[in-house]
């Protein structure tokens, strides 16, 4: 798809159909996950110059190790597994940054260190994992990935038939 515009448009057009099947009380978390998956956590994060990677602005560098470890349309484009991998990677980076900040604050900002020690990222993740809203948010991320992969397969198939027709 040209520069990812087609993915964004297709995903946005598919969102109302997805919401039709969602319980109304989970529209917001599902939609938030779906939009996060479409615009920021796309399978195309494995490409350094993709639109989703550029949308991270200065934080796009956090995705460099992920991009080096991934090949385009590899693991990142396997529905559910790709979403799980990107979410796990993102959470791992956040936890790593928490510990880096904790280590730096121990030396340079003791007041910040005390504040950081009051926060337990693993307990927070454990509590979040038990919430239905997080399930529907994750389902939104996965749904956006499924549509992304579908449109990739469809465009590849159409290109192949175009070549065969010549």
- Structure pTM? 0.89
What's the rounded Cα separation, in Å, for the pair 117 and 112? Answer: 9
Q: Where are the domains of the chain?
A: 2-165
pLDDT, tens digit, for every residue of 5-14?
Answer: 788 999 999 9
pLDDT, tens digit, for every residue of 68-96?
Answer: 998 888 888 899 999 999 999 999 999 99
CB neighbourhood size of 99 (10 A): 11
């Amino acid at each position: 798809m040209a520069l990812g515009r087609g993915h964004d448009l297709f995903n946005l057009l598919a969102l109302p159909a997805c919401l039709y099947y969602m319980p109304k009380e989970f529209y917001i978390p599902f939609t938030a996950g779906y939009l996060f998956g479409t615009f920021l956590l796309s399978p195309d994060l494995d490409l350094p110059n993709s639109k989703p990677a550029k949308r991270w602005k200065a934080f796009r560098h956090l995705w460099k190790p992920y991009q080096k470890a991934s090949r385009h349309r590899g693991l990142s484009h396997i529905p559910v597994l790709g979403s799980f991998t990107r979410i796990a990677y993102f959470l791992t980076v956040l936890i790593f940054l928490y510990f880096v900040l904790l280590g730096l604050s121990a030396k340079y900002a003791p007041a910040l260190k005390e504040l950081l020690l009051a926060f337990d990222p693993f307990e927070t993740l454990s509590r979040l994992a038990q919430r239905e809203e997080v399930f529907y948010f994750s389902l939104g991320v996965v749904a956006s990935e499924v549509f992304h992969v579908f449109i990739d397969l469809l465009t590849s198939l159409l290109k192949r038939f175009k070549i065969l027709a010549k």
